[in-house]
Chain A
Amino acid sequence: DGGITQSPKYLFRKEGQNVTLSCEQNLNHDAMYWYRQDPGQGLRLIYYSQIVNDFQKGDIAEGYSVSREKKESFPLTVTSAQKNPTAFYLCASRSSGTTNEKLFFGSGTQLSVL
Chain B
Amino acid sequence: DQQVKQNSPSLSVQEGRISILNCDYTNSMFDYFLWYKKYPAEGPTFLISISSIKDKNEDGRFTVFLNKSAKHLSLHIVPSQPGDSAVYFCAASMNRDDKIIFGKGTRLHILP
Contacts of A111 in B (CB 8 A): none
Residues of A contacting B91 with CB < 8 Å? Answer: 42, 100
Tally chain A residues at the interface, Cβ within 8 Å.
26
Annotate A66-101 by CB proximity to B: 1 below 8 A, 0 otherwise: 000000000000000000000000101000011111
> How many B residues touch A, CB cutoff 8 Å?
25
Q: In the complex the two chains form, what is the Cα distance from A63 to B41 in whole Å?
A: 24
Given A42-B4, A42-B103, A42-B105, answer yes or no on A100-B97 (Cβ-Cβ < 8 Å). yes
Contact with B along A13-26 (1 / 0, CB 8 A): 00000000000000
Besides A40-B104, A100-B46, 19 other A-B contacts (C-beta < 8 A): A35-B102, A41-B104, A42-B89, A43-B89, A45-B100, A58-B99, A97-B97, A98-B97, A99-B96, A100-B93, A100-B96, A101-B46, A101-B96, A103-B46, A105-B45, A107-B42, A107-B43, A108-B42, A108-B43
